[in-house]
Structure 1
Amino acid sequence: MSAASPEPLAVTRVAGDGSSWSSSSTIVGMVTTRTFHVRVDNYSKTREMRNGAHMLSSSFVVGDQPWKIKYYPNGSNESATGQISIFLVRVGGVDLGLLADVQFDLIAQPAGTAAYALRFKHAFRPDTSYGYASFVSPEKLEELGCLKDDSFTILLDVELEGPPFVVEVPPSSLGWHLGDLLGETEGADVAFVVGGERFPAHRLVLAARSLVFKAQLLGPLKVEKGATISIDDMHADVFRAFLHFIYTDELPDDDDDDNDDSAAAIMAQHLLVAADKYDMPRLRLMCESRMSKRVCVSTAATTLALAEQHGCHGLKEVVLRFLKLPSHMKAVRCTEDYKHLLKSCPSIQQELTSSGLLP
C-alpha cells in the first residue's frame, strides 16, 4: 500500500466533468457525467486472494447516487479464474433503474494514456452490479505497460441518466408545415413571375416574414388578390431559394460543404441583395456567414463591394483581414472585379490606402 494511496483500492474524481440535459428521446432525465481514477496498489499482494474474493472501494457519487468499484484480483467466478474482474456497483437508492454508460480505460505507464478500454450500457437497480468477469489477464496487464510500482490505474467514465425525468417537447415543426405550402397553388392568392417562371405564394406568409411584402400585399396600396407581380431584378433560381427561406427559415442545402464553392458564393451574394431589399435581417446574416466562409481571391472584391453597399460590417472586416496578407492583396488587385470595386465604391480605395493595404 503506497503512502499516496492509503487504501489498496482507491477512487478519486477527475476534475472537469459535469451535467447536462439529454435530448435524445421523448422521456429524458438529467444526464450526469463523472470521471474517476481507480487505483489498485499492492497488486502482487492482491493476486494472492482466492478466486471469487473481492475488494470494495470507498463510495463515490454520480448523480446524487453512491457507487463503488468491486475488484476481483483472481476472477469473480470459476470460469474467470486467473483473470482480473472489475464491476461497478450501485449502492442502495430508490427502486428505480438508472441507465449508465460506463467505460473502463486501463492507463499505460508512464505515458498516462489509455492502452485498453471496454464499454457497456446497463440499467442499474439498487444494490446491483455490472461489469467484466474477464476484464484483463495479468499477462496483458504487464504487456500493455500498465503496471508501475506494483500498482495500476483504471480511468472510469460514467454517464448517468436519472431523475428528475421529464417529457421532452420535440423541435417545432412549423417550418416543415409552412414548407409544405411552398409551390402549392391551393390557397395561393398571389403569384410572382421571375425570369419567365411563375411562383404561387400566400400573401399572409410573405407579409408575416417581411415588412416590405406586408406593405405591398396588405397596405393601403396593396395589390389585388390573385394578382401577378413581376420581379425583374432577380434570377428565378435566386427567387426560388428566397421563397424557400421565407417559408422554412432555412436556405436550401443548408449543409452545403459539398456544393461548388463558386456557385454557392454567387447564390449567397444574390440572396444578400434580396434580403436587404425585402428587410429580412436573419437571411442577410445567413448570407454574410456563407460568404465569409468563401472569401478567396476570386470572390474578395465582389464580397467587399457588397459588404460596403449593404452595410455588412462583419463581412467587410472578414475580407479586409483576408487582404492583409500581401500575396492575397496582390492577386486580388489583378482581377476585373477589383477594378469594378474601385469604380462602384471609391471610398474603399481610400480605406485600403489608409489601412496600409495599398501603397
Structure 2
Amino acid sequence: MAEQCKISAAMVSEERSYVLKVDGYSRAKALVKNGQCVISTSFSVGGHNWVVRYYPNGFLNNYAHSISLYLCLESTDVEDMKAEYTLAVLDKNGEPVPSYSCSNPLRIFSDGSAWSYPLVIKKADLEASAHLRDNCLTIRCNVTIMQIKSEEAKVSPSDLHHHLADLLKNKDAADLTFEVGAQSFSAHRCVLAARSSVFKAELLGAKKESSAASTIKIHDMEADVFKSLLHFIYTDSVPVLEMGSNKSETDVVMAGHLLVAADRYNIVRLKQICEEKLCNHIGSRMVGTSLALAEQHGFHRLKEACLRFLASPSNFEAMVASDGYEHLRSSCPSVLKELIARILPAEWKVAKDILTTT
C-alpha cells in the first residue's frame, strides 16, 4: 500500500494600506487633461506591485466633471489573484468618508484584468465639501490578498547517509578489501565508483577485464586517513574535522592528510572541506607544512592564505623557528623564494639571511 501524506489547506491573507496625498488639487485639475492621470509610487502586497491611478478630470469623456481613482496591478504574468480592496477619501481625522468610498470584497486580478472598479466623485461635490483641505486631497487604498496555502505533513530528513554508514560498518555485500598498512577495510565497488572518478576508472575498468582482483593495497597513506576517506565517501561527512573552532594540531594534520587523499581520488567536496579547515587554522607552527602541501599539490587558495599569514614579520620569524620551515625549505625552495620576494622590506634582516642561504 502506498504511503499517504496528509495535506491541510489554510486561507491566509496579506493586507497593506497605501495613502496617496494630492497636493495642489487645483493645479492638477488645470494641467492634467481628461483621460490623463497621475500615478502613485508602486507598493507591494502579496509579492506583487500595485499603483493607484488618479484622473483629476475623469478617465472617460462622460466623466470629465468627476475625478476617477483606480487600483492597478503592475506585476505581469499573474493569474487569477483574489483581492479585497477599498478606495476612500479621508476626512480631517484620517477616517474614510463613506460617501466617497468604493470597495470590492472579491476582485480577481490577472495580467489581462489588472484594474479595479473605479472610485468616481463629482468635482463640484468634492470641492464644496470639507474633505478638500488647503487644496489637498488625501486618499487611502487598502488591499488584502487572499491566498490558499497547503501544508503537508512534515517529511523526515534524509537518512541515506545512516544506511550507507551501516553498510560500510556491517560489510554487507562488500566486494572489495583494501589493505592499508596493517589494517584491512571492506568496501563496495559500486559505491566507490559512484563517488570518485578515479575509483570508477580503476575499479570498473578492472572489473571489465577480471573480477578476481578484490584485494587492493594502498601505499603512502595512513590507515586512519583512509578510514576517514571511506567514511566521507559513504556518508558525505568528516566527523574528525567537524569540531567547530577547535584548533588542535591533530585536526590540522589530519586535514592536510585528507586533503592529499581527496586530491588523489578526485573527491571535490572533501578537498574543499579540508582546504577550508586548513585556511581557517593557520598558525606559525603549521604554516610551513601547509604551504609546502599547497605548493606540491596545487592548492592555490591554501597557498594564498599561507602567504598572507606570512606577510606579517612576526609570523614569518615564528615560522622560521618552527620544524615546518626546514620541510618547506628542503621540499619547496621555489615557494620560499617567492614568499621572500613578495614580502621583503629592507629592514628584514632575517629574510635577507634566508635569501642568501636558500
AA matched with 2:191: V
Alignment match, 2:183: 197
Residue from 144, 150, 164 that aligns with 2:149? 164
Query: In 2 relative to 1, CA 172–330 (structure 1 residues): closer, same or farther, beyond 3 Å?
Result: same
What is the TM-score when the length of structure 2 is the normalising length? Answer: 0.54
Residue from 312, 317, 341 that aligns with 2:328? 341
Contact 2:241 2:255 in 1 (8 A): no
Contact 1:213 1:278 in 2 (8 A): yes
Alignment match, 1:181: 167
Alignment match, 1:268: 255
Q: Which runs of 5+ in 1 are unaligned?
A: 1-25, 35-60, 67-91, 94-161
RMSD: 3.9
Q: Deviations over 1:331-356 (max 9, x none)?
A: 10111211211211121122112212
Alignment match, 2:239: 252
What is the TM-score when the length of structure 1 is the normalising length? Answer: 0.53
Q: Shift of residue 313 of structure 1?
A: 0.7
Give 4+ residue runs of structure 1 displaced > 4 Å after superposition: 26-34, 61-66, 168-171, 220-223
Distance 1:30 1:189 in 2: 55
Q: Shift of residue 177 of structure 1?
A: 2.3
Q: Which runs of 5+ in 2 are unaligned?
A: 1-6, 16-43, 48-82, 85-104, 107-146, 345-350, 353-358
Contact 1:182 1:201 in 2 (8 A): yes
Percent identity of paired positions between Structure 1 and Structure 2: 45
Query: In 2 relative to 1, CA 293–163 (structure 1 residues): closer, same or farther, beyond 3 Å?
Result: farther
Max radius of gyration: which structure? 2
Residue from 300, 303, 313 that aligns with 2:287? 300
AA matched with 1:335: S
Q: Shift of residue 232 of structure 1?
A: 2.6
Alignment match, 2:4: none
Alignment match, 1:280: 267
Alignment match, 1:354: 341
Query: In 2 relative to 1, CA 275–255 (structure 1 residues): closer, same or farther, beyond 3 Å?
Result: closer
How many residue pairs match? The answer is 225
Indicate yes or no: 2:186 matched with 1:208. no
Indicate yes or no: 2:305 matched with 1:318. yes
Q: Shift of residue 233 of structure 1?
A: 1.4
Alignment match, 1:237: 224
Instruction: Indicate the larger mover: 263-272 or 232-241.
Output: 232-241
Alignment match, 1:328: 315
Distance 2:287 2:295 in 1: 12
Q: Shift of residue 314 of structure 1?
A: 0.8
Q: Deviations over 1:218-271 (max 9, x none)?
A: 104766357221213111111111000000111124531265621110110110
Contact 1:190 1:202 in 2 (8 A): yes
Contact 2:12 2:149 in 1 (8 A): no
